[in-house]
A and B are shown apart, each in its own frame.
Chain A
Amino acid sequence: MGKVLMKGNEAIAEAAIRAGCLNYFAYPITPQSEVAEYLAKRMPEVDGVFLQGESEVAVGYMIFGASACGARVMTTSSSPGVSLMGEAISYITAAQCPAVFVNIMRGGPGLGGILPSQADYFQATKGGGHGDYRLLVMAPASVQEAVEMMMEAFPLAEKYRNPVMLVGDGLIGQMMEPVEFPDNLSIPATNKDAWATNGMDTRKSDKRNLVKTLYLNPEELNAHNLLLKAKYERMKQEAVKYEPYNLDSAYQVLIVSYGTMSRVCKTAIDMLKDEGIEVGMVRPQTLFPFPEQAIFEAAACESCKVALSVEMSMGQMIEDVERCIKGRLPVKWHGKCGGDVPTPEEVIDAVKRLIAEY
């Protein structure tokens, strides 16, 4: 199959099917409703399950139930909807069930707006629901990358028995770009008989399975949390993804940026290069695990005087950037969070101001 021009939301929907996810539950919300609309038509064609739930709260538990009985399953939503799913996400993570959540982020807090935003960084990477848990969070910067990440998301969710969240700012869902789907894609179903409540007859076993999250004994709960922690540590070792940009130059400023924002930064970096100003960038492709080592090392570049976290939020990722840089460089923030994407010129101005200052 060659390249086709597709809207991000529809490409994400099609990618899920190509990744072997034939079970989808969702609730409409702008700017991701096209995923549900696409799959309402497409799922019956592939004998899949499509169900519009009564709320994001309920959808979260439809995902939990389906995943716990062994199905490959996903949902999509946008910021306020993901808040409502936060409860189920906590349970699903505690129960170690695989699932894919897509958040096509819009502006917040509250109803906020319906335009692109990256203001759910904390929600995705630090919690959102209660308790000690982590999601494996992937952040595409193009429709093509969103498709590729969807292909990776399901096997990763099943490998770690943990939800994977794909976060795209509204633009990733709304813009149309040429996209190519990999051929012959069938991600084999993983055997879940060891834990899934798929019925004893299904797995020809006399041993029943139990999917639960309640541990009343403090030692048991602590041990359970240590087990989860070990899994998150394993993700940090194995699953980090990032893209370096212009890091082989003698850059004066190190930008950290992801998603659509990182594309604007790339344009700004290219324009600055033409003026003789070198700026490097680390683009996290996974927000958890975060590219800690890459940023730490990039900050060690002798010519680099200052780091700049450019994000469509009021300074959320910057806390992780500061954590990685460990005081080696001053870390500054540039961003916007009303729905407009900062322009390359704005990024250039921010960089030049920093160069003048440091």
Chain B
Amino acid sequence: MGKTFKKPEALSDQPTHYCPGCTHGIIHRLVAEVIDELGIRGSTVGIAPVGCAVLAYNYFTFDFQEAAHGRAPAMATGIKRVRPDLTVFTYQGDGDLASIGMGEIIHAANRGEKFTTIFVNNAVYGMTGGQMAPTTMPGQRTTTSPLGRKPLDVGMPVKMAELLAALETPSYIARQTVIKPKYVKKAKKSIKKAFEYQLEGRCFSLVEVVSTCPTNWGMTPVDALKWTEDTLLPYYKLGEYKTPTNGGNDAK
């Protein structure tokens, strides 16, 4: 009997450093599967962020660059402009993309840079030890909002997918999650579309993936999944916010 399930070629053998219950591993795998299916491992350059996924390059088997905090979209711009034949993606968390890298992501998206961003939003800074992010929910306790995020003090969480979908130039903006198998399938479909649009020469594509952080949320992995569904998903609504045939840029 042949193998029906195997590790994607784009994924390395190295065990990840991610905490139990973290969904980075699933998202890495989805990206790797898509890269395998599209046969683009030899022409892809990934860009790792600062944050938990800074070491993402250890888990992929193709060219990778490591960015400074938030600057991955600027690096991707540099690569894609001088080598439009390469497939380029950034893999960024919410502290990286929505806080320190807000300027870079907005301008890259608005210029319609022809790369893809995988934006992993778990409503907290992970690597630095659970501080408040721009995406932290009202009332959510973090090490820098010990009494819970107060919207009157620091505003409401940023909805990146909606914010970027307000721009005219991007071709594809979607938000998915991976907390249940049915969502994982949809997330993979979105990630694949984003890469396919890039291969077609379309403008900027981004998939936000609502994710978990049991360690910094102070929850068990199972409770973290439930909290994501009960608290994050009603605020961070899933769906395709912009596609080339529905509000997005259809230019190639």
Which residues of A are in contact with B by a Cβ distance under 8 Å? 23, 25, 49, 51, 53-55, 57-71, 73, 87-88, 91, 95, 197-202, 208-214
Contacts and interface: CB of A to CB of B under 8 A. Distances in A.
Contacts of A49: 81-82
16 contacts: A25-B81, A54-B104, A57-B71, A57-B103, A65-B79, A68-B65, A68-B79, A69-B63, A69-B78, A198-B86, A199-B83, A200-B43, A208-B60, A210-B65, A212-B48, A214-B54
Given A61-B78, A199-B42, A91 B62 contact: no
Interface of B: 41-45, 47-48, 54-55, 57, 60-68, 71, 74-79, 81-83, 85-86, 103-104, 107
Contacts of B74: 53, 57-62, 64-65
A199 B44 contact: yes
Contacts of A53: 74, 77, 107
The 4 closest A-B pairs by CB, nearest first: A65-B78, A65-B75, A61-B74, A201-B42
Main secondary structure of the interface of A (DSSP, over half): mixed
Nearest to B83: A69
A197 B45 contact: yes
Contacts of A199: 42-45, 63, 83, 85-86
A49 B113 CA distance: 13
Contacts of B68: 61, 87-88, 91
B65 A211 contact: yes
B82 A211 contact: no
A347 B92 CA distance: 56
A199 B82 CA distance: 13
Nearest to B55: A214
A98 to B, nearest CB: 13
Nearest to B78: A65
A68 B45 CA distance: 10
Nearest to A66: B78
Contacts of B71: 57-58, 60-61, 64, 88
Contacts of B43: 199-202
B103 A55 contact: yes
Given A69-B45, A199-B42, A210-B63, 7 more contacts: A53-B107, A58-B77, A62-B75, A64-B74, A69-B78, A200-B63, A201-B43
